[in-house]
């Protein structure tokens, strides 16, 4: 199975949101990583054919998805970034309704809805209306609706938004289990969401696909370039102005810095194993740089 992205560019009025993207997806889990506004949602909307690229095309098994239309939709599952469902439907009614739209037979639909409510941990809330759902519960219903037709291609736009840590772990488990023979593409700006599940990570910056590789490859490349050092506040602050800082940890009157640098940034700095988080900060910077205690 192949989903090929060929020279895809997208322009919103006078804003160029995607710039000449080329990529080939084969079965596996892909993490699309980039800061807000990088073009992740635009890319995903093009991949599911709800948005036509300004130029270029997406081919599924060598055929343009905009020509395949419903044939393509039949093998697709999609969670949009702004998924809300229908507030007056219960979880059960909503999933049954989507199953109907997707053409599942009545008996299969009931069976799938039950299975999926179990899978996403919402079976006990199946008769509650979506309007009473928390953000995390809505996201889980959104994931369930994307899975109803057992899609070959699953595209999840920020599936972990609003999920608590245990729900994030559950989702990772679900995705890993179903990854065989499926193309799963998920977007996030939270590195830990994809670190352990993604076979490949795609870095998107300002509409450009700047790099793609396995997490292990990214980590190998960064080996020897991540350091920690604990310094008094003044000295630490001056290093923060000079280097790429991937974490800051206050320890009493001292500050422990995690630094990404090709050269040893301070005499007392020691090399530590890289994490994907360091790679993110290296490519995208860290606008938060909050001090953690
Ligand atoms: N309908 C639109 N009209 C004009 N500009 C748009 C439109 N939709 C998105 N953009 C712009 O295109 C860029 C990419 O947006 P997109 O939503 O694809 O990014 P993203 O990586 O998904 O960001 P986020 O993580 O915040 O959702 C942004 O600068 C955004 O403001």
Half-sphere exposure of 33 (CA within 13 A, CB side): 29
Ranges assigned E (strand) in the chain: 3-12, 15-25, 28-33, 55-60, 63-64, 76-79, 153-157, 183-188, 200-205, 208-213, 226-232, 244-251, 254-260, 270-271, 291-292
The reported pLDDT for the residue numbered 293 is 37
Q: Is 250 helix (H, G, I), strand (E, B) or coil?
A: strand
Flag whether pLDDT at 210 surpasses 60: yes
**Residue carrying structure tokens 């602050």:** 237
The reported pLDDT for the residue numbered 196 is 82
For ligand 1, whether the C-beta of 44 sits within 6 Å is: no
- For the chain, domains (ranges, CATH) are 3-219 (3.40.50.300), 221-292 (no CATH)
Please identify, by atom number, the ligand 1 atom nearest to the C-alpha of residue 18: 14
- Region 219-245: mean pLDDT is 94
Pocket test of ligand 1: the residue of 9, 11, 13, 15 to mutate, having most ligand atoms within 8 Å of its CB, is 15
Centre of ligand 1 to C-alpha 283, Å, is 19
pLDDT digits (tens, 9 = 90+) for 35-50: 999 999 999 999 999 9
Centre of ligand 1 to C-alpha 134, Å, is 25
Flag whether pLDDT at 287 surpasses 80: no
The reported pTM is 0.92
Flag whether pLDDT at 85 surpasses 80: yes
Q: ipTM, 2 decimals? A: 0.96
The reported pLDDT for the residue numbered 193 is 85
Please tell me the residue having the least CA distance from ligand 1 atom 5.
Answer: 12
Half-sphere exposure of 80 (CA within 13 A, CB side): 11
């Amino acid at each position: 199975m192949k989903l090929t992205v060929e020279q895809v560019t997208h322009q919103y009025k006078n804003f160029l949101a995607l710039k000449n993207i080329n990529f080939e997806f084969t079965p596996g889990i892909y993490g699309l990583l980039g800061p807000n506004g990088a073009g992740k949602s635009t890319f995903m909307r093009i991949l599911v054919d709800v948005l036509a690229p300004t130029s270029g095309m997406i081919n599924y098994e060598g055929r343009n998805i905009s020509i395949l239309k419903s044939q393509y939709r039949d093998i697709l599952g999609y969670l949009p970034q702004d998924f809300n469902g229908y507030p007056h439907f219960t979880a059960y009614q909503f999933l049954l309704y989507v199953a109907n739209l997707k053409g599942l037979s009545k008996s299969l639909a009931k069976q799938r809805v039950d299975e999926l409510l179990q899978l996403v941990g919402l079976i006990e809330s199946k008769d509650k209306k979506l309007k009473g759902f928390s953000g995390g519960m809505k996201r889980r219903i959104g994931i369930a609706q994307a899975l109803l037709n057992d899609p070959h291609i699953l595209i999840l736009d920020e599936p972990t938004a609003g999920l608590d840590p245990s729900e994030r772990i559950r989702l990772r488990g679900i995705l890993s289990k179903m990854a065989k023979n499926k193309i799963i593409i998920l977007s996030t700006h939270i590195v830990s969401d994809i670190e352990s599940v993604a076979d490949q990570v795609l870095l998107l910056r300002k509409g450009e696909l700047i790099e793609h590789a396995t997490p292990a490859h990214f980590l190998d490349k960064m080996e020897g370039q991540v350091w920690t050092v604990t310094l008094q506040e003044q000295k630490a602050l001056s290093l923060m102005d000079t280097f790429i800082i991937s974490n800051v940890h206050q320890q009493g009157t001292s500050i422990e810095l995690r630094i990404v640098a090709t050269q040893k940034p301070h005499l007392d700095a020691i090399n530590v194993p890289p994490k994907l988080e360091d790679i993110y900060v290296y490519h995208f910077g860290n606008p938060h740089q909050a001090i953690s205690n």
